[in-house]
Structure 1
Amino acid sequence: MSATSTLVFVHGFWHGSWCWSEVVPHVVAAGRLAVAVDMAGHGLYARRPQWFTEQPYNPEAVRTEVSPVADVSLDHAAELLTSQIKRIGGGEPVTVVAHSAAGPVLTRVAQRTPELVAHAVYLSAYMPASGVPAAAYTRMPEAADDQVAPLLQGDPAETGALRLDLATDDAAYRQRLYEAFYGDVDPILADAATGLLTPDGPIGIMLGTTTLTDDGWGSVRRTYLTCTRDMAIRPGVQAKFISEADAAFPDNPTSVVALDASHSPFLSMPGELAGIITPLG
């Protein structure tokens, strides 16, 4: 398929469709239709816990309050993305670019409705193997030095979310947040982005699994854009996704493009990222 299908951009946990706002204009200027959407539990679908705006600040509530997005599952997220793709593409296949935790959502959609996905593009995203939850990769040796896990608050099994404390005034915590997500992003821009984050990522998206088949996900063309300086999804984990996919579906190998970037190239190098994505059909 030629590079004429509409591009659909999907953000990762805690972010929203806003994070693609520097990329989409480059893509559209190059003559490609493109739109960014919000993932379930995020953006316009976000529901913030009480502690986030409650005064005075209550660190105990940060650790224990059950998330209002605890009921959002991988099924819910995939159903929402499928409906968005159908609306945007009018039934024609689209090219989907998934960042980070949007990866398992794209995988589920491509498995269930491969006819709707012309090309699955994973930008430093979770691309779990058949029957494996994305969360399992956070416990693998390759992920041992990721900088996101130490930032998470409370027990996800109790709160139902992967939670960031975005209400804290702890300068050291906020610096570690910057280093985990935005290490090569201008600090002023990174501060603005941090202000737009939502605190809870639904753990259900990371716990769901998808059984992959040759005529489902295995039949869809895929590209993986690695981020070599990523401190959230470490390069070793990214490599594991690619090797597992290629071992399972050797007749449809993953195309790989390396970016010298942190976890957020949509902010640090939007023009370069757009130049790589725009020709993908």
Structure 2
Amino acid sequence: MSEENKKQHFVLVHGACHGAWCWYKVKPLLEASGHLVTALDLAASGIDTTRSITEISSCEQYSEPLMQLMASLPVDEKVVLVGHSFGGLNLAMAMDKFPDKISVSVFVTAFMPDTKHSPSFVMDKEFGGDKPLEIWLGTEFEPYGSDRSGVSMFFSNEFMKQALYQLSPIEDLELGLLLKRPGSLFINELSRVKNFSDKGYGSVPRAYIVCKRDKIIKEEHQRWMIDNFPADLVKEMDETDHMPMFCKPQLLSDHLLEIADKFA
């Protein structure tokens, strides 16, 4: 196998209220190109029924399955980390802790924090403050935890139809409606933890894939995050909603392969 086609290990990280299942179209496309692919469920997500989100008190705890995978990798193996939506925060945590085990991290219309502000900063700007609840179209928010600082989030059907999957195949919307789980953005907790470090998180190459018709993390906010903490490479997907793995799986896979090849 030539250096150009060197086998890569892609690790795919889902967004809030979703699970490993959401990569079902992209995983075989990457594998067909000869690569190893791991799609995992974060804590209390996907088919992990051992816990509910109200038992998860921190983003670090939520990220444990990813951290365990990273810790289990051989010393000389580097992975291509791919995070969608809120999964960008899980990527940042893994990058901070295991910078030497990652060749590149790819933020797919994802929250991409910086090292100068708290980890919640990039979410506060889009979702914090006085944003009206109407934009969530009936999504349920419930405080939890002993101090009630945790907030669980359960996407409404209308929110998924109108704001997440509006350009995706109806079959994938139906799958999402059947498999969605309550999740959390951990904004209160992430506003209090220490910043990500330049030595860890900031030292790993980053690529960003902009989805231009995303109604949740809008293109303007995606580009603001890229300006705020510049990525090494930026790709764009036209006519693509918040769920590019359903909306345009082949194009997303092509972008991932190109990015992985560039940073191998």
Asked if the contact 1:70/1:161 (under 8 Å) is kept, the reply is: no
Q: Which residue of 2 aligns with 1:153?
A: 140
Amino acid at match of 1:137: K
Alignment of 1:269 onto 2:248? yes
Q: Which residue of 2 aligns with 1:119?
A: 104
Q: Distance in 1 between matches of 2:123 and 2:250?
A: 31
Asked if the contact 1:5/1:118 (under 8 Å) is kept, the reply is: no
Q: Distance in 2 between matches of 1:71 and 1:195?
A: 22
Amino acid at match of 1:180: A
State the 1:216 CA deviation.
1.2
Q: Distance in 1 between matches of 2:123 and 2:15?
A: 14
Q: Distance in 1 between matches of 2:70 and 2:100?
A: 11
Alignment of 1:188 onto 2:191? no
**Which of residues 13, 21, 24 in structure 2 aligns to 1:10?**
13
Q: Which residue of 2 aligns with 1:231?
A: 215
Task: Summarize the Cα distance change of 1:38–1:189 in structure 2 as closer, same or farther, 3 Å threshold.
Answer: same
Structure 2 unaligned blocks of 5 or more: none
Q: Distance in 2 between matches of 1:38 and 1:214?
A: 28
Asked if the contact 1:47/1:69 (under 8 Å) is kept, the reply is: no
Amino acid at match of 1:256: V
Amino acid at match of 2:9: T
State the 1:272 CA deviation.
1.3
Determine helix, strand or coil for the equivalent of 2:86. Answer: helix
Per-residue CA shift, 1:130-182, capped at 9, x if unaligned? 323154133369x96998634332344648333226xxxxxxx6334212111
Asked if the contact 2:108/2:209 (under 8 Å) is kept, the reply is: yes
Q: What TM-score does the superposition give when structure 1 sets the normalisation length?
A: 0.77
Higher alpha-carbon deviation: 29-38 or 145-154: 145-154
**Which of residues 230, 242, 247 in structure 1 aligns to 2:226?**
242
Determine helix, strand or coil for the equivalent of 2:177. Answer: helix
Q: Distance in 2 between matches of 1:242 and 1:147?
A: 28
Q: Which residue of 1 aligns with 2:93?
A: 108
Determine helix, strand or coil for the equivalent of 1:188. Answer: helix
Equivalent runs, 1:125-144 vs 2, <5 Å = 125-130=110-115, 131-133=118-120, 134-139=122-127
Q: Distance in 2 between matches of 1:221 and 1:228?
A: 23
What percentage of aligned pairs have identical amino acids? 25
Determine helix, strand or coil for the equivalent of 1:258. Answer: strand
Aligned residues: 247
Q: Which has the higher contact order (CA 8 A, sep 6+)?
A: 1
**Which of residues 10, 25, 29 in structure 1 aligns to 2:28?**
25
Q: What TM-score does the superposition give when structure 2 sets the normalisation length?
A: 0.82
Task: Summarize the Cα distance change of 1:206–1:42 in structure 2 as closer, same or farther, 3 Å threshold.
Answer: farther
Cα RMSD over matched residues? 2.8
Q: Which residue of 2 aligns with 1:60?
A: none
Asked if the contact 1:40/1:72 (under 8 Å) is kept, the reply is: no
Asked if the contact 2:70/2:94 (under 8 Å) is kept, the reply is: no
Amino acid at match of 2:141: G
